[in-house]
Chain A
Amino acid sequence: MKSPAARKYMRRNLIVMSGYLVLFSVVDFVAYRIHPTGIVLWVLAALPVLPFLGAISLTGQYLRNEKDEYKRDLVVRCLLWGTAGMVIANLFSGFLHIFGWKGQFFPFSELFALYVFALAAKLSYRVANRVPADE
Chain B
Amino acid sequence: MNNRLRVLRAERAWSQADLADKLEVSRQSVNAIETGKYDPSLPLAFKLARLFGQRIEEIFQDDV
Seen from chain A, the residues whose Cβ lies within 8 Å of a Cβ on chain B are 1, 3, 67-71, 73, 128-129, 131-132, 134-135
Contact = CB atoms under 8 A, between A and B. Distances in A.
Contact of A68 (B16, B17, B25, B37): B25
Contacts of B25: 67-70
Q: Give the 3 A-B residue pairs with the shortest CB-CB distance, closest first.
A: A70-B29, A134-B15, A131-B31
Interface in B7-56: 10, 15-17, 24-29, 31-33, 37-38, 40-41, 44
A73 to B, nearest CB: 7
Contact of B27 (A69, A128, A131): A131
A63 to B, nearest CB: 14
Contacts of A68: 24-26, 29
- Size band of the interface chain B makes with A: 10 to 19
Contact of A70 (B10, B15, B24, B32): B32
A129 B32 contact: yes
B29 A135 contact: no
Contacts of B16: 131, 134-135
A131 B26 CA distance: 11
Contacts of A129: 28, 31-32, 37
Contacts of B28: 70-71, 129, 131
B17 A134 contact: yes
Given A70-B38, A129-B37, A135 B26 contact: no
Q: Which of B27, B28, B40 has the most chain A CB within a 10 Å cutoff?
A: B28
Contacts of B15: 134-135
29 contacts: A3-B26, A68-B24, A68-B25, A68-B26, A69-B25, A69-B29, A69-B40, A69-B41, A69-B44, A70-B25, A70-B26, A70-B28, A70-B29, A70-B32, A70-B40, A71-B26, A71-B28, A71-B29, A128-B37, A129-B31, A129-B37, A131-B28, A131-B31, A132-B31, A134-B16, A134-B17, A134-B27, A135-B10, A135-B16
